[in-house]
Amino acid sequence: MFKVLRKKVLSDTGNDRVVLLDIEAPLVAKKHQPGHFIMLRIDEKGERIPLTIADTNLETGAVTIIAQEVGITSKQLGRLEAGDYILDFVGPLGQAAHYPEHKHVVCIGGGLGVAPLYPEVKHLHEIDSHVTTIIGARTKEILILEEEMRKHSHQFYVATDDGSYGTKGFVTTVLQQMIDDQQPVDLVIAIGPIPMMKAVANLTRQYNIKTLVSLNSLMVDGTGMCGACRVTVGGETKFTCIDGPEFDGHLVDFDEQMRRLNMYKDKEKSALALEGCGGVGRCH
Amino acid sequence: MSLNNQSKLGGRQPMSLLEDQLRISGFGEVALGYTEEQAIAEAKRCLQCKKPLCQQGCPVNIDIKDFIGLIAEGKFSEACEKIKEKNSLPAVCGRVCPQEEQCEIKCIVGIKGEAVAIGRLERFVADHVMSMEREKVDCAIQAGKKVAVVGSGPAGLACASELAKLCYDVTMYEAFHEPGGVLMYGIPQFRLPKEIVKEEVEFLRQIGVKIECNVIIGKTLTIDDLFAMGFEAVFLGTGAGLPYFLGIEGENLNGVYSANEFLTRVNLMRAYKFPEYRTPVHVGNRVAVVGAGNVAMDAARTAKRLGAEVHIIYRRSEEEMPARKEEIEHAKEEEIQFQTLSNPLRLIGDDKGYVTGIVCEKMELGEPDSSGRRRPQPIPNSEFTIDIDTLVVAVGQGPNPIVTQATPELQVNKWGNIIVDEQTGATSIPGVYAGGDVVTGAATVIKAMGAGKIAAVGIHDYLIAKE
């Protein structure tokens, strides 16, 4: 059993509440490096789901995870409070990210993708890279981790679809501007919804800027055993759990990933309906 | 059939099976086992050979003749103890071992009639004794040296059990949330009830083995960490946890599963009880399974129970199928369709990316190849399509790469299998031993258990020599 040490609601606009949980898992905290993820199962009847690690605290043994309440498991996570327990929590999984020192890295986070981006930004800042961070969201209210990101970035930008904060437009609008201003960029890291990562990769491909993306594939075991997390990268089948989750954004088949992610949408709805959530809104 | 009239060289005692309708509508165990009377009658068919060849055929060298002799006398508990001297998982092995090509193939009775049903007898005594109190191992575990066993599948269970009996302080690490490895996630309930696996794991706990789930060695803890924590030896039994795919067009379409994923969703995560259990599985009306090993039969029979019409696609003929005969027969009884001499070429999907069909070509068997099996060759212009909603790929697995990636000094062969000394299970790292599918590639439960036992002896000798 793994104890919930802290819970915080990061944003709440009704339909897509985002919660942060600190889970007591000292062994995972100790081994965590940027890029890693965990798998959890809340209770006996629960699904095993992967979530990226947003932060760790070696003193308390806490591993911070952030989830958006969309599916049945994330809604259940959202109902947990400090002092509650979850049944299984395992990791850290995946390949750790390795970045160049003293280079200009543009870190782009969209929506919930800001959470897994945070440890990478922190790490790059520590190894003396020049960090430019661009975070984006549909609207100001659902922006997460802004202060934390700002603290570890040399340049910091926000883009909102509706223009309620920062630049009006997408993260690519800001990136395009930087490229137009002829700022030399050594590496782009983009984490967020698939359409965003695809758009970033399409843009940087034109300028031959190396771009890493982090995939949030469906998984069952997270250790290479099931092959659920297949992704086509440069024409080859890779497993997100053991080969990733970070891949060269110019080589990933995003359309296939999008399709695979939507595979259980109908089933998810029927599970939510059973919970009395009706597939929309929260259930509390 | 009267028990008394049966000649030793005649047929074996039949084992009753679950009724057909109950079979495919649920996950209840299919083979129901012997009654006491049947077991005694079957045991009496044994000739009690002076040099029992059956024992040589057993990877863990069970004293088969002796335990059968005890059954014939009605001494079931003693028979079970006799088996347990060599094999700590008789209820599992009695069910899933390929006895017909191990012990039973060597049975003298089998030359003129049907071999003694050694597997069924093993299962009988294990089930009979399971409800009774387990033997207690009497030793001061605290005084024993610490040994870590990585992976709680058949290899790990066998190794941990042997080491615990030798009074080592054993901790078994499991990546999943439940111990048992392939016995839990892979082999379906109708062939190996999970209660039996749990019972066997409970036995290990009773004899002092500590079990830590949700720990991935190579990630959560490295082998170096284990040594730093005071473990003096490590056994790696991490299994064949990396599925192979066919490498054909359309393989990443929605609805295409590896057998590992399909079986894990249904067995370990209980997707057949969705949405009460939250893990979904996508099974439509028509399922194809590519491959013809035991795993393929398990996947096909599982899909059948989930309500689908099921096709097995295999590029050779039925004669070459690697699955146990009994499993093939059970699959046929359950109306699984066999598309033999058929080779998958590509998959077709709809505009939403779900698989809708598998295009195959017909094959014929040519000259024998290096494996001694006749090589299948395509028949020109013989393409045909089977409409499907789901495809399960059951063409084998490679070794799970996590421990070897995290431990570069561990020597592996070109397929990623850990290289060991066959006599002891020793790897290239002193104090680290390995066995089971991670060494041999995908094999059987009993072979993995045999390897776990060999490594336990290897570890024992190593720790004695170290003193």
pLDDT at A223 over 60: yes
Nearest CB partner across the interface for A267, out of B185, B269, B274? B274
**What dotted CATH number matches B3-131?**
1.10.1060.10
pLDDT of residue A276: 58
Rounded mean pLDDT, A167-179: 90
With bands split at pLDDT 50, 70 and 90, how would you rate the model's confidence at A280?
very low
Q: Are B117 and B64 in contact (CB under 8 A)?
A: no
pLDDT of residue B130: 72
DSSP class of residue B267 equals I
Residue B449 has φ and ψ, to the nearest 5°, of -65, -40
Sheet containing B286-290: give its strands across.
B256-258, B390-393, B286-290, B309-313, B337-339
Q: Are B428 and B230 in contact (CB under 8 A)?
A: no
Every domain of chain B and the residues it spans: 3-131, 146-241+399-466, 244-393
Same fold for the pair A2-93 and A104-262: no
- Per-residue pLDDT tens digits for A49-108: 999 999 999 999 999 999 988 888 888 999 999 999 999 999 999 999 888 777 899 999
Model ipTM value: 0.92
pLDDT of residue B141: 52
For the segment(s) B146-241+399-466, the CATH number from 3.20.20.70, 3.40.50.620, 3.90.1150.10, 3.50.50.60 is 3.50.50.60
Burial of B276 (0-12, 13-18, 19+ CB in 10 A): exposed
Lowest pLDDT segment from B69-73, B112-116, B219-223, B348-352:
B112-116
Residue A68 annotated as part of some ligand binding site: yes
Residue A94 has φ and ψ, to the nearest 5°, of 90, 170
For the beta carbon of residue A82, count every other beta carbon within 10 angstroms: 12
Distance of alpha carbon B251 from alpha carbon B464, whole angstroms: 51
Name the CA dihedral angle for B197, B202, B203, B208, rounded to a multiple of 10 degrees: 140
Note the pTM of the prediction, 2 decimals. Answer: 0.89
pLDDT at A22 over 80: yes
Helix or strand (DSSP H, E) at A273:
helix A265-274
Give the position of tokens 């889970």: A23
Distance of alpha carbon A190 from alpha carbon A184, whole angstroms: 17
Between helices A265-274 and A72-79, what is the axis angle to 10°? Answer: 40
Nearest CB partner across the interface for A223, out of B257, B275, B402? B402
CB contact under 8 A, A263 and B214: no
Every domain of chain A and the residues it spans: 2-93, 104-262
Give the position of tokens 């071992």: B97
Nearest CB partner across the interface for A263, out of B251, B269, B282? B282
Contacts of B251 in chain A (CB under 8 A): 230, 237
With bands split at pLDDT 50, 70 and 90, how would you rate the model's confidence at B367?
confident
With bands split at pLDDT 50, 70 and 90, how would you rate the model's confidence at B143?
low
Structure tokens at B387: 């409409």
Residues written for chain A? 284
Lowest pLDDT segment from A121-135, A220-234, B78-92, B288-302:
B78-92
pLDDT of residue B3: 41
A267 lies within 8 A of chain B by CB: yes
Structure tokens at A126: 């520590």
A146 lies within 8 A of chain B by CB: no
- Per-residue pLDDT tens digits for B122-133: 999 888 887 555
pLDDT at B187 over 90: yes
pLDDT of residue A278: 42
A221 lies within 8 A of chain B by CB: yes
- Per-residue pLDDT tens digits for B282-330: 998 999 999 999 999 999 999 999 999 999 999 999 998 999 998 999 9
pLDDT of residue B172: 98
Beta bridge partners of B210: B171
Tell which residue, B95, B88, B85, B81, has the closest CA to residue B15. Answer: B95
Rounded mean pLDDT, A253-281: 77
CB contact under 8 A, A90 and B251: no
Q: Testing the interface with B: which of A28, A31, A221 to mutate, by most B Cβ within 10 A?
A: A221
CB contact under 8 A, B280 and A264: yes
Same fold for the pair B3-131 and B244-393: no
Nearest CB partner across the interface for A227, out of B243, B279, B402? B243
Domain range A2-93, CATH architecture = Beta Barrel (2.40)
- Per-residue pLDDT tens digits for A37-61: 999 999 999 999 999 999 999 999 9
Structure tokens at A130: 């020049």
Helix or strand (DSSP H, E) at A189:
strand A187-191
Distance of alpha carbon B410 from alpha carbon B424, whole angstroms: 16
Burial of B20 (0-12, 13-18, 19+ CB in 10 A): exposed
Structure tokens at B227: 């040594």
pLDDT of residue B467: 77
- What is the domain class of B244-393 according to CATH? alpha beta
Residue A124 has φ and ψ, to the nearest 5°, of -60, -40
pLDDT of residue B138: 61
pLDDT at A282 over 50: no
Nearest CA in chain B to A221: B176
Distance of alpha carbon B30 from alpha carbon B54, whole angstroms: 26
Contacts of B215 in chain A (CB under 8 A): 27, 90
Per the prediction, chain A carries an average pLDDT of: 90
**What dotted CATH number matches A104-262?**
3.40.50.80
Sheet containing A246-248: give its strands across.
A167-168, A155-160, A130-137, A104-110, A187-191, A211-214, A246-248
Distance of alpha carbon A112 from alpha carbon A145, whole angstroms: 10
pLDDT at A134 over 50: yes
Distance of alpha carbon B22 from alpha carbon B175, whole angstroms: 34
